[in-house]
Amino acid sequence: MAFMNAVTIAGVGETEYSKNSGRSELQLSLEAISRALEDAGIDRKEVDGLLRWSVDTSPEATVAANMGIEDLAWFGEISQAGNVGAALIANGAAAIHAGLANVVVIYRGVNGRSGRRYGRGDVTGRSGRGAAAYSEPFGLLTPQHGLALMARRRMFETGVTSAQFGMVAVTERGHANRNPRATFYDTPLTLDDHQNSRLIVDPFHLFDCCLETDGGGAIVLTSTDRAKARPGPSAMIRAAAQGGYSSHGFTDTAAVALAPRLWKQAKVDPSEISVAQIYDHFAPFVVFALEDYGFVLRGEGGEFVSSGEITWESGSLPVNTSGGHLSEAYMQGMNQLIESVRQARGESTSQVRDAQFSFVDTGIGTGAVVLERGE
């Protein structure tokens, strides 16, 4: 069996989120790591494992040198793009569970607005090589292009509408308006605002698209026994799974393959989840995740959203309670993982009561985590 609460997210930390941090991506990571270790009550000398997104620009060795780590016993990166947050949690927890490391820090520092911008294909590139030779020459240049192509077909097949996607954005904005850390804390959003916002890549309107953010975030993993030094409720890793290479259908997210594995590993089913953070680089993918992870049936996600079921605090499954990537910050899943820890601990600005099980999808169904509150 996988780790089943043997490993805990013992600390989380983040910098402010902005359009121009005024400092390096490395510094953003280091500041976030310091805060996460302080939150965990763990000295930096105890850290012996480091993990990052492969798109992150700060090598583990550089981070280790800055932290003064004497013996970096375990480290790594996970490839693809922003969507590997859960894979990092799963691999870090596995290393601790296997005894390869005692304290693993996962970090992300990015100048996503003032530096290289995802929305312009600065990170994912335009090479015309390999598989890109069959997409980029026809104008599929950025992540949103390929995802919009899938979303359009899924709208055709299931009848989900742009206005229902808009209600994802409106709901998340409402949550951001309660969260002082959120980029859009002070700015409300109506469905009319969404529907009247300009088209970026049709069917995606401006307010279907995530922010571009400068910021840093970090997560400290350690054994649940070691984590008990921190007082108060904790965020135990009930299950964590990665995926994404299955040969699923064009309109399926990778969750179609991953979800059965995740729920089996977690020994809970979707109806037992109280709160969810879902990777919303584009609003439609919240609807698709709700369906493909089995929270609702395929074709029912749009109605689930527009009828208020993902809205704090009246909804049955509040989603993206910090404002998500659409309205808090786009940290490639890091800020959503941090919010899920807050929910497990009872520290969110839109706290779901009695949230024993908290769910996180970290991108198009390619990875997910279930956290359980520990007392």
Partner 1 sequence: MSDYLWVRPANLTLPDPDENSVEFWEGLKQGKLLLQVCGVCTQTNYPPMVMCSGCAGFDFEWREAEGGGVLYSYVVTHQPIHPSLVDYTPFLTALIELDEGPRVTSNIINIAPERAKIGMRVKLELFQVNSEITLPLFVHE
Of 61, 65, 100, 133, the residue at the interface with partner 1 (CB under 8 A) is: 133
Cα torsion angle, 215, 196, 149, 299, sign:
positive
Contact yes or no for 302/268 (Cβ under 8 A) = no
DSSP at 226: H
Stretch that binds partner 1, among 58-66, 75-83, 124-132, 339-347 (CB under 8 A): 124-132
C-alpha of 181 from chain center: 16
Q: How far apart are CA 279 and CA 282, in angstroms?
A: 8
Nearer to partner 1, 25 or 212 (CB): 212
Q: Which position among 33, 40, 104, 150 is part of the footprint of partner 1 (CB under 8 A)? A: 150
Q: Which of 13, 109, 119, 243 binds partner 1 (CB under 8 A)?
A: 119
Residue 159 CB, nearest approach to partner 1 (Å)? 13
- Interface mask (CB under 8 A) for partner 1, residues 244-283, using x and -? ---x--x---------------------------------
What separation in angstroms does the CA of 152 have from each of 82, 123, 155, 160, 162? 22, 24, 5, 10, 10
Give whole-number Cα distances, 265 to 258, 262, 368, in Å: 11, 5, 11
Dist. CA 216–CA 16, nearest whole Å: 8
Give the DSSP H/E element, type plus range, for residue 228: none
Closest CA to 279 of 317, 330, 240: 330
Rounded to an integer, what distance in angstroms lies between the CA atom of residue 375 and that of residue 134? 52
* 308 lies in the binding site for partner 1 (CB under 8 A): no
Please provide residue 361's backbone torsions phi and psi, each rounded to the nearest 5 degrees: -105, 130
Query: CA distances (Å), 215 to each of 26, 174, 289, 331, in order?
Result: 10, 22, 26, 7
Q: Whose Cβ is closer to partner 1: residue 175's or residue 281's? A: 281
Compute the least distance from the CB of residue 54 to partner 1, in Å.
22
According to the binding rule CB under 8 A, does residue 127 interact with partner 1?
A: yes
Q: Does 1 bind partner 1 (CB under 8 A)?
A: no
Q: Decide: is 141 part of the binding site for partner 1 (CB under 8 A).
A: yes
Using CB under 8 A as the binding rule, whether residue 94 contacts partner 1 is answered as no
Q: Is 128 a binder of partner 1 (CB under 8 A)? A: yes
Give the DSSP letter of residue 316: S
Q: Which sequence positions are flagged as catalytic?
A: 279, 330
Question: 148 or 326: whose CB is closer to partner 1?
Answer: 148
Tell me whether residue 65 or residue 133 sits nearer to partner 1 (CB atom): 133
Instruction: Give min distance, CB of 128 to partner 1, in A.
Output: 4
Of 4-12, 115-123, 175-183, 350-358, the segment contacting partner 1 by CB under 8 A is: 115-123
Which residues 6+ apart lie within 8 Å of 44 measured at CB? 33, 34, 37, 67, 68, 69
Helix (H) or strand (E) segment spanning residue 112: none
Q: Which of 138, 231, 232, 353 binds partner 1 (CB under 8 A)?
A: 138
Give the interface size with partner 1 as a residue count (CB under 8 A). 35
* 198 lines the binding site for partner 1 (CB under 8 A): yes
List of residues contacting partner 1 (CB under 8 A): 119-121, 126-142, 145, 148-150, 152-153, 156, 198-203, 247, 250
